[in-house]
Amino acid sequence: MKVYSIALLPGDGIGPDVTAAAWQVLEAVARSADFKLQGTSLPWSCDHYLQTGAMMPDDGIETLHGFDAILLGAVGWPEKVPDAISLHGLLLPIRKSFQQYANIRPHRLLPGVEGPLRKAQFDILCIRENTEGEYSGAGGRVHQGTDNEVAIETAIFTRMGVERILRFAFEQARRRRGKLASVTKSNAQRHSMVFWDEVTRELAGEYPDVEVTSYHIDAMAARIVMAPESLDVVVASNLFGDVLTDLGAAIQGGLGFAASANINPGRDAPSMFEPVHGSAPDIAHLGIANPIAAIWSASMMLDHLGETAAAARIMTALEAVTSRGIGTVPGKNKTDEITKAVLAALD
């Protein structure tokens, strides 16, 4: 029997609440499948930082490398640790070290969820570049606190980085409805974004079966609200993808429904699965966080591990639950209630 070792990183805020829910569902699915899941919980978080001076131990990345996959809750509790420290101490180094360059975020309405657009039907797969671009971390500050202060944050786009994410997106489009929207801002950013558009055109020749259109980020933001049904796969740089996927989350009913997978397509390091942030410290431990995004992310994890039937079983159960109106309206059902309903629907 196959045994998958899973690193559990509940993290901060509502992270522990929703990770526990997702893990219960995963264990239930594994019980009646022909694979086992072995979970190891790691306490790396802002509290860990306050106790040890670091978000994770020095050999944290090495430790995580030994796992088949990582299930993450959320990172960040700004009242305890500044976000710029906590995120650069845990979430972002994992994405970069493990070359999880494809951040996949599905945006569609689960049955029974209305969303703010009222009855709009859409099924968007956002593919966000996850290792470079505006998140490269290159830059610095000089003359701090003086009138001459300068802050520089340089976006870095490499041919390898841009080509591999676009290729990944073309492949996804080919497997779906054959439409790809590539998002830049090449009318204003004339170096990196013009480069991205060029690589998009170059690759388009290799995928004659995919209909590719380039959009500017501002127009895409409007399109996601006005005509989401016109979109299939959307690919964007790290920061643009970050912003667009919060918008995607909003039209699908909120962050409680927004799942994501940080994929290392080369499979030479573990991939990481997490609900789209934040950590919502204001409702941490109240038992009211929506676990649906975390459970959906867990399904994406099984899918990545090759357990497609078990992954589909989770999605069927989730959809059965939401179509009965459970977990569809913020605050209506407790975390536990929703989790129990999903567990029951699995049978």
- Write out the catalytic residue numbers: 135, 185, 218, 242, 246
Q: Does 277 bind ligand IPM (CB under 6 A)?
A: yes
Q: Does 134 bind ligand IPM (CB under 6 A)?
A: no
Helix (H) or strand (E) holding 319: helix 308-323
| Contact by Cβ (8 Å): 74, 290 | no
Query: How far apart (Å, rounded) are the C-alpha atoms in residues 178 and 345?
Result: 33
Near Mn ion by CB under 5 A, which window of 105-113, 183-191, 237-245, 308-316? Answer: 237-245
- The one of Mn ion, ligand IPM, none whose footprint includes residue 61, by CB under 5 to 8 A per kind, is none
Q: How far is the CB of 255 from Mn ion (least distance, A)?
A: 9
Query: How far apart (Å, rounded) are the C-alpha atoms in residues 343 and 28?
Result: 7
Q: Can you name the residues that pair with 184 across neighbouring β-strands?
A: 216
Restricted to residues 166-205, the positions that interact with ligand IPM (CB under 6 A) are: none
Burial 75-106 (b: 16+ CB within 10 A, else e): bbbbeebeeeebbebbbbbbbbbbbbbbbbbb
Which is closer to ligand IPM, CB of 242 or CB of 307? 242
Query: How far apart (Å, rounded) are the C-alpha atoms in residues 150 and 169?
Result: 37
Q: How far is the CB of 211 from ligand IPM (least distance, A)?
A: 28
Q: Residue 128, SS3?
A: strand
Cα–Cα separations (whole angstroms), residue 98 to 36, 55, 62, 93: 24, 17, 10, 8
Which is closer to Mn ion, CB of 134 or CB of 307? 134
Q: What share of the chain is helix, strand, coil (3-state, %, to 5)?
A: 45, 25, 35
Q: Does 107 bind ligand IPM (CB under 6 A)?
A: no
Which is closer to Mn ion, CB of 12 or CB of 242? 242
Q: How far is the CB of 107 from ligand IPM (least distance, A)?
A: 13
155 torsion bin: left (phi>0), alpha (psi -120 to 50), beta (else): beta
Binding mask 2-31 for ligand IPM (x = CB under 6 A): ------------------------------
Query: How far apart (Å, rounded) are the C-alpha atoms in residues 329 and 344?
Result: 20
- The one of Mn ion, ligand IPM, none whose footprint includes residue 87, by CB under 5 to 8 A per kind, is ligand IPM
Which is closer to ligand IPM, CB of 16 or CB of 76? 76
Query: By rule CB under 6 A, what count of residues binds ligand IPM?
Result: 6
Restricted to residues 235-264, the positions that interact with ligand IPM (CB under 6 A) are: 242
Query: How far apart (Å, rounded) are the C-alpha atoms in residues 304 and 265?
Result: 10
Q: Which of 33, 61, 85, 87 touches ligand IPM (CB under 6 A)?
A: 87
Q: Which of 9, 69, 110, 276 touches ligand IPM (CB under 6 A)?
A: 276
Query: How far apart (Å, rounded) are the C-alpha atoms in residues 344 and 340?
Result: 6
Q: Can you name the residues that pair with 151 across neighbouring β-strands?
A: 141
Which is closer to Mn ion, CB of 60 or CB of 76? 76
Near Mn ion by CB under 5 A, which window of 24-32, 178-186, 236-244, 338-346? Answer: 236-244
Q: Which residues bind Mn ion (CB under 5 A)?
A: 242
Q: Which residues bind ligand IPM (CB under 6 A)?
A: 76, 87, 91, 242, 276-277
